[in-house]
Amino acid sequence: MRTIIGLLRRYIQLRAVLSTVVLTGIAMTALGGFLSYSIGNGLFQTRLTQVLSESQRSVIQIQNTFSASNVSDEVALQTLMNSVVPSLESNTASQERQVALLRTPGQPSGSLALQSPMSSNLNLSVIPAQLRVKVAAAGSRLSYQSVAIPTAVGTHPGIAVGAPIQIPLAGAYELYLVYDLQNEENTLLFVQRTLVVGGLVSLFLIALVSYFVTNWLVAPLRVASDVAESIASGDLDKRIPAKGTDVISTMARSFNKMADSLQKQITKVTNVSTMQQRFVSDVSHELRTPMTTIRISGDMLFRNRDKLAPTLKKDAETLNDQIIRFEALLGDLLELSRFDAGGVRPHMELQDVQHVVGMSIVSVEPLARSKGSRINVDLPTDLVEVELDSRRIERLLRNLLANAIEHGEGKPIDVHVAGNEDAVAITVTDYGIGMTKEQLDRVFDRFWRADPSRQRTSGGTGLGLAISQEDAHLHGGWLQVWARPNQGACFRLTLPKLRGGVIVESPLSMPPRAALWALPKGFYHD
Amino acid sequence: MTNKIMLVEDDEALRSQLERWLTESGYQVVAVGDGNLVMDTFRAENPNVVLMDIQLPGRNGIELVRDIREFAGTPIIMVTARSEAEVMDEAFEAGADDYFEKSPWEPEKLLARVKNSLRVQQRASVETATEEAGGVLKIGSVSVDILGHEVRKNGEKIALTPYEFKLLTTLAEKPKLVFSREQLLKDVWNHSYQGDTRLVNVHIQRLRSKIEDDPDNPTVVVTVRGIGYKAGLN
């Protein structure tokens, strides 16, 4: 119970923490993605605006330079063109840019053979063909495109901006400016890293907080489960400390109220039981003393009956018989009351069961002889030790034997004893009048007799089997019966070998094998 | 000489009937109803057997047994309306020798127990007349002088009650035999099959506490598990 509650408790807590972390994680990832995207976009747009305005200025400046020049020879023009590149390579506002001044393809080759100057670290493949097409078709506008700039280690993001330039004498050219966006990229990476680290840290903190919060909520439940456990194991005074008015305190108070009422009930029942036991003990003492006095008087009357008038002699005899019967009845009733009051403590001792069986057989031998019944005994060869109250088990067996003799109609009585690993069984079988199903169902009832019209020869009280049943249960054993009308009855007592032992299977079948052929069908009751 | 029985019973009707019945059975009876008078009566009358009730006004029967045992080994038979284990064990531990349940009333049983109590006391003087002179049995450090009705341990005399003496001699006379509790109940107490073997257990304990060096590890009266008891060999 404790482990189940513990697991469940931990499970609830684990589940709460886990779901908090997962849900927060998803939310934070979405938020982080959005932030990262907008920051990246913002950085790019800012840089793009800057890049475009710088490029615009540069293009105008270059175009103006060429338009205003009046170079007339090839060398001077080449020199002028060459000077354009370094003048544009570095600018103040942003990092280095790379520059290329390329001749627009598809013109009739001019009279002049001029080289296209460009930055020394510029790889022409960076400028996409698409861009060149756009620039060629753009008129005087700027065109741009995002590009990847190869470096020693991988590539940098960048923007290539292009514009057409008209150079006198030389024809149509295109000016390209390639800007490196590595700084922006770095900034974005830094922001992203910060977001991720921050997110993980907050996730951990949230997990921690949710653990503590759920723990704080679960703690009263843990106390409640511990208290319930203590109460279950008998500590009825345990209560849950309850303060405040929140739902948990309300639960605690309800629980305590329930425990109070349970405790009251249990105490009441215990008191009743103790009182009943005391009562039975008192009744026993108070009744037995006058009973014995009456019996002695009856006994003396009986002994001296010959001195009485003949009319009184019969009374003396009846009185004595009925006193004896009454006393036996009282004894059995008190014994049953002790069982009912739960005040019976068996005196358990390790005993050889064969010995106990032998003793009980010896004690009924006079009765068996008087009825002409032979008692056949089948004992195992080795010692069968059983923890039992020999007085009670002997009484029980004596009772079964006396019943068998009384109902056996002078036929033999079979007694079998057998043991297995954890139990021992004793069967007492007679082949007499037996019982019907209806009779069998009531055989252990108090004061019930199989046939009221039959003469009571052994002076039974009608309580013998009820007491036997109680004695069997007191030992943790079984007392079962099988019977068939006019064919006999078989009582089987099965006892665990050790006190508190559990019987898995009775070592003897019922009825015993020897009787099976004789008694093909029967009824069972236990 | 008629044997004298002291009858301690608080219920007046039962006491007078028992007294009549025992007198009719041939005993001299001294009946006492008040626990406070028991010790004085005992000293004055010096009975051969005591029949003792447990629940008494004044003083409890078990206490009285303990007091009598301080100075006398006179057989004491508890006459009780209760058969509860705790009470009987306590009475035996206090020194009671036998018991008899008031109900169901079995007069033959009571007479048999009284007779046995008398027999146990007379045993030494009557039966040992036939014993060889100097019939002394030895079990370990304990010597049992049947003729002298004396038990010595390492030369020191030990006071045993007649029942304890009978129990010890029964075991000592047949040192090779293992006695079951029922056998001892029969041989020592003359009980029939329905005896209560706790009587034997407690008497064995009492005997051990008097004659053993270490009653928890007995060497004189040893237990044979599952069967019973026997005299320890040298």
CATH number of the domain encompassing residue B95: 3.40.50.2300
For the ranges A7-11, B1-5, B52-56, B119-123, which has the lowest average pLDDT? A7-11
Sign of CA dihedral A236, A242, A245, A249: negative
Domain region containing B58: 4-124
Above 50 in pLDDT, residue B78?
Answer: yes
For residue B196, give the CATH number of its domain: 1.10.10.10
Cβ contact, residue pair B198, A331, below 8 Å: no
Query: What are B178-223's pLDDT values in tens digits?
Result: 998 888 988 899 887 566 778 898 999 999 999 888 888 888 898 8
Tokens at B123, concatenated: 């045993």
Q: Give the model's pLDDT for residue A471.
A: 93
Contacts of B180 in chain A (CB under 8 A): 355
Asked which of B94, B124, B154 is the last residue of a domain, the reply is B124
Contacts of A351 in chain B (CB under 8 A): 226
Question: Domain check: are B59 and B163 in the same one?
Answer: no
Average pLDDT over residues B109-130: 74
* Residue appearing with tokens 């405790």: A263
Task: Give me the pLDDT at residue A45, please.
Answer: 92
pLDDT value at residue A6: 58
- Pair (B156, B103) in one structural domain: no
The C-alpha atoms of residue A175 and residue A154 are separated, in whole angstroms, by 26
What class has domain A2-188? Answer: alpha beta
Q: What mean pLDDT comes out for the span A330-356?
A: 83
CA distances from A509 to A379, A478, B162, B228 (A): 15, 13, 50, 32
On whether both B104 and B37 belong to a single domain, the answer is yes
Contact B85 A331 (CB under 8 A): no
Peptide bond into A511 cis (omega under 30): yes
Predicted confidence (pLDDT) at residue A399 exceeds the cutoff of 80? yes
Mark residue A213 as left, alpha or beta (left: phi above 0; alpha: psi -120 to 50; beta: remaining): alpha
Residue of B86, B105, B227 to mutate when probing chain A, most A C-beta within 10 A: B105
pLDDT in tens, A17-75: 888 889 999 999 999 999 999 999 999 999 899 888 888 888 888 888 888 887 777 78
CATH 3.30.565.10 domain residues, chain A: 349-525
Q: Of B14, B193, B197, which is closest to A289 when you measure between CB atoms? A: B14
CATH 1.10.287 domain extents, chain A: 249-340
Beta bridge partners of B29: B5
CA-wise closest residue to B84 among A343, A490, A239: A343
Q: Examine the domain organization and report whether B67 and B162 are in the same domain.
A: no
* C-beta atoms of A352 and B85 within 8 A: no
Which of A295, A351, A362 minimises the CB distance to B193?
A: A362
Whether the per-residue pLDDT at A333 is higher than 60: the answer is yes
Does ipTM surpass 0.90 in this model? no
Given this model, what pLDDT does residue A467 score? 92
CA A389 to chain B, closest CA, distance in angstroms equals 10
DSSP-based three-state secondary structure for A112: coil
Residue A342: both structure tokens together: 């739960």
For residue B133, what pLDDT is reported? 45
Instruction: Render the burial of A374-391: b for 16+ CB within 10 Å, e for the rest.
Output: ebeeeeeeeebbbbbbbb
Look at residue A109 and give its three-state secondary structure: coil
Domain count, chain B: 2
Least confident interval from A155-164, A279-288, A351-360, B161-170: A279-288
Would you place residue B69 in the very low, low, confident or very high pLDDT band (cuts 50, 70, 90)?
very high
φ and ψ of A465, to 5 deg:
-70, -30
Q: Which chain B residues have a beta carbon less than 8 Å from that of A327?
A: 103-105
Q: Cβ(A89)–Cβ(A101) under 8 Å?
A: no
Amino acid at B186: K
User: In sequence order, what are the beta bridge partners of A162?
Assistant: A143, A176
Question: What pLDDT is attached to residue A452?
Answer: 59
Burial label for A305, CB within 10 Å (0-12, 13-18, 19+), is middle
Residues B32 and B93 in one domain: yes
**pLDDT given for residue A417 in this prediction:** 92
Percentage of chain A exceeding pLDDT 90: 20
Do B79 and B21 fall within a single domain? yes
User: Do B118 and B76 fall into the same domain?
Assistant: yes
Peptide bond into B104 cis (omega under 30): yes
Across residues A168-183, what is the average pLDDT? 83
d(CA A162, CA B113): 136
Q: Is the dihedral of CA A225, A227, A228, A232 positive or negative?
A: positive
The model's pLDDT over A183-228, given as tens digits with 9 standing for 90+, comes to 888 888 999 999 999 999 999 999 999 889 888 888 888 888 888 8
Q: Does residue A473 contact residue A447 with C-beta atoms inside 8 Å?
A: no
Q: Do A297 and B17 touch (CB under 8 A)?
A: yes
**Can you say whether residue A58 is alpha, beta or left, with left for phi > 0 and alpha for psi between -120 and 50 degrees?**
alpha
B119 and B19 part of one domain: yes
pLDDT band per the 50, 70, 90 thresholds, residue A516: very low
Residue B85 and residue A327: Cβ atoms within 8 Å? no
Write out pLDDT tens, residues A370-393.
Answer: 989 999 998 888 888 899 988 899
Of B103, B124, B145, which marks where a domain is finished? Answer: B124
Tally C-beta pairs within 8 A across A and B: 81
HEC secondary structure over chain B: CCCEEEEECCCHHHHHHHHHHHHHCCCEEEEECCHHHHHHHHHHHCCCEEEEECCCCCCCHHHHHHHHHCCCCCCEEEEECCCCHHHHHHHHHHCCCEEEECCCCCHHHHHHHHHHHHHHHHHHHHHHHHCCCCCEEEECCEEEECCCCEEEECCEEECCCHHHHHHHHHHHHCCCCCEEHHHHHHHHHCCCCCCCCHHHHHHHHHHHHHHCCCCCCCCCEEEECCCEEEECCC
Would you say residue A173 has pLDDT above 70? Answer: yes
Contact B13 A290 (CB under 8 A): yes
Q: What is the helix (H) or strand (E) element at residue A100, kind and residue range?
A: strand A97-103
Chain B nearest CA to A368, separation (Å): 16
Per-residue pLDDT band at B128 (split at 50, 70, 90) = very low
Asked if residue A518 has pLDDT above 50, the reply is no
Parts of chain A belonging to CATH 3.30.450.20: 2-188
Chain A positions touching B104 (Cβ under 8 A) are 295, 324, 327-328, 331
Q: In the prediction, which pLDDT does A2 show? A: 58
By Cβ distance, the residue of B18, B81, B198 closest to A285 is B81
Pick the CATH number of A249-340 from 2.60.40, 3.30.70, 1.10.287, 2.60.120: 1.10.287
* Confidence grade of residue A148 (pLDDT, cut at 50, 70, 90): confident
The verdict on B59 and B110 lying in the same domain is yes
Decide which of A471 and B176 is more confident. A471
Interface of B with A in 63-102 (CB under 8 A): 81-82, 84-86, 102
Contact list in B for residue A284 (CB cut-off 8 A) is: 81-82
Architecture category of domain A349-525 in CATH: 2-Layer Sandwich (3.30)
Q: Is A199 exposed, middle or buried (0-12, 13-18, 19+ CB in 10 A)?
A: middle
Which chain B residues touch A328 with a CB distance below 8 Å?
A: 104
The helix or strand, by DSSP H or E, that contains position A127, with its residue range, turns out to be: none
User: What pLDDT, on the 0 to 100 scale, is given for residue A453?
Assistant: 56
Domain boundary among B72, B99, B124: B124
- Environment class of B157 (CB within 10 Å of its CB; exposed 0-12, middle 13-18, buried 19+): exposed
* pLDDT > 80? residue A145: yes
Residue B20 in contact with partner chain A when CB distance is under 8 A: yes
